[in-house]
Amino acid sequence: LLTHQRSGIKTGMKKENIFITDNGDQLDLTHDKPTILRKIAPNKSMFVSGNNINVSTDSEYMHQLASDGVIVFTTTYDKNKVLISYPQTSTRGFVIINSALQLLKKIQVAFIESYHACKNLPTNEVEQAISLKMSNFIYKETGKKPFILTNLIKYNPTKTKITLESFDQEFKTK
């Protein structure tokens, strides 16, 4: 973090506008002046998925992961909210892949249907709504409630494309 602070100062940022906080601290930005509020965030396990933060009140998520596993859905959409990639589905502890290929195909179809049903919700609610629909679908199909993470990535064609050569060049200069 100190390296980032020095980089900021070298690029012209004022030191008083750079904040290094501890885990759990909150930076309160007001019109008067910024203030670091110590240890505001809960001192419990936190799981972050997209714009959603789930704070565990006990070890409920750990038990859920141990018994029902986790499924991660990742897909890309364009500016018109059209899916431009088939959803990548990763699972751990949910099913044995080779013996559940038909189930995984049904899950991917249900994911696409859920995306289309939810895509017009406010951006910060889409991932959570899809995860909820998928949780209900999977429970009906299997009786399991795996921890579900949904990652929707908006394709931006104007961003610089990363190639192996540009990656190598970036790190040779450091």
Per-residue pLDDT of the chain (174 residues; tens, 9 = 90+): 788 888 888 888 888 888 887 766 777 777 677 777 665 555 555 555 555 555 554 556 566 666 788 889 999 999 899 999 889 988 888 777 777 888 889 999 999 999 999 999 987 799 999 999 999 999 998 888 888 889 999 888 776 566 666 666 666 655
β-pair type (70-77, 147-154): parallel
Q: Which two tokens stand for residue 99?
A: 């013996």
In this predicted structure, what is the pLDDT of residue 89? Answer: 87
Decide if 28 contacts 18 (C-beta within 8 A).
no
**Is the entire prediction scored with pTM above 0.85?**
no
In this predicted structure, what is the pLDDT of residue 95? Answer: 73
Strand locations in the chain, DSSP E? 26-28, 35-37, 46-49, 52-55, 70-77, 88-92, 147-154
* H/E element, 3: helix 2-10
